[in-house]
Amino acid sequence: MKKLLLAGILVLLTAIVVACSSGEEDGQDDNSTDTEGTEENENTEEEGTEGESDEGGEGDSAEEGDSASELDVEVVATVNGKEIQAEELLENEQMVKQNYQSMGMNVEERSDEIRKSALDQLINTEVIKQNAKDAGIEASDEEVDEEYDKLVQQLEEQYEDQDVSEVFEQFETSEEEVREDLRNQLVTDKFIDQNTEEVEVTEEELEEQYATYEEQMSQAEQEVQDFEQVKPQLEQQLIQQKEGKQLQKLIEDLKEESDIEIMI
């Protein structure tokens, strides 16, 4: 996605793919039991477009000074011959920076990490898109219409004084581009669903997660909620962890079968 508005549509998948590209770093997050953060994650798909739009109003292009020429190459990678342009990478870096900043991280100290994450996102997404296409997976016009109507409703609620077409113009995109990217996202979702299994969480796993939660809250000198109160959040955390691991394995397998060349 080249526009932040469109990227906001894909924020859920992007977040998962970023986690998948982190390799061993994923293990460090598996035991996190911040129930407040989990509640926010549950709303990511609904609020992702709004969040990205708020931050992208003035920053829908790369920051001043960022240009394809600074990389000394026009193409930063290829996936089975499909080129990933330097411009795409620089624009995606801005999204990653915003994500890091929202988590209170110092982006200046993590420039190399941010660039790698941004490139990994683009490569992983392209690998999934290509395999979904090869599998013959399609999204109907009716499905696209349904998702588009949901997006329009969100935008109308956020931009009460603007027409949706004006919002699209603000983010240098169009209804046609938005519909096409929604179609791609639907196809991607179907491919992932078809190539991963539905996860289950046991009571024993929930109890172990709660024990970790109790320890973390006690160390932070914060109130510990009863098991039944936080059980839904803990269950969602475990589901997300298991789904993330499945997606990571799927992407790794697909990348092994792909011809990927990185030029930077």
Is pLDDT at 22 greater than 60 in this prediction? Answer: no
- For the chain, the C-alpha Rg in angstroms (whole number) is 19
Confidence of residue 34 (pLDDT cuts 50, 70, 90): low
Is pLDDT at 11 greater than 70 in this prediction? Answer: no
So what's the pLDDT on residue 15? 45
Q: Domain extents for the chain?
A: 4-191+201-262
Least confident of 17-26, 132-141, 193-202, 223-232: 17-26
Please, which residues have CB within 8 angstroms of residue 187's CB and are 6 or more apart in sequence?
Answer: 129, 132, 133, 137, 138, 139
Is pLDDT at 59 greater than 50 in this prediction? Answer: no
Cα 34–chain centre separation: 19
Confidence of residue 4 (pLDDT cuts 50, 70, 90): very low
So what's the pLDDT on residue 180? 94
So what's the pLDDT on residue 9? 39
So what's the pLDDT on residue 206? 97
So what's the pLDDT on residue 41? 43
Q: What does pTM read for this prediction? A: 0.71
Between 164 and 69, the more confident residue is: 164
| Superfamily of 4-191+201-262 according to CATH | Porin chaperone SurA, peptide-binding domain (1.10.4030.10)
Mean pLDDT score, 76-96: 95
Indicate the angle between helix axes 11-20 and 86-102, nearest 10 degrees: 90
So what's the pLDDT on residue 33? 57
Q: What is the mean pLDDT of the chain?
A: 81
Per-residue pLDDT reduced to its tens digit, 41-55? 444 344 433 444 444
Between 212 and 8, the more confident residue is: 212
Per-residue pLDDT reduced to its tens digit, 158-181? 998 899 999 999 888 999 999 999
Question: 95's torsion region: left (phi>0), alpha (psi -120 to 50) or beta?
Answer: alpha
Q: What are phi and psi of 117, to 5 degrees?
A: -60, -45
Q: What percent of the chain lies above the pLDDT cut of 70? A: 74
Mean pLDDT score, 93-107: 93
So what's the pLDDT on residue 71? 84
Residue with token string 């803990």: 234
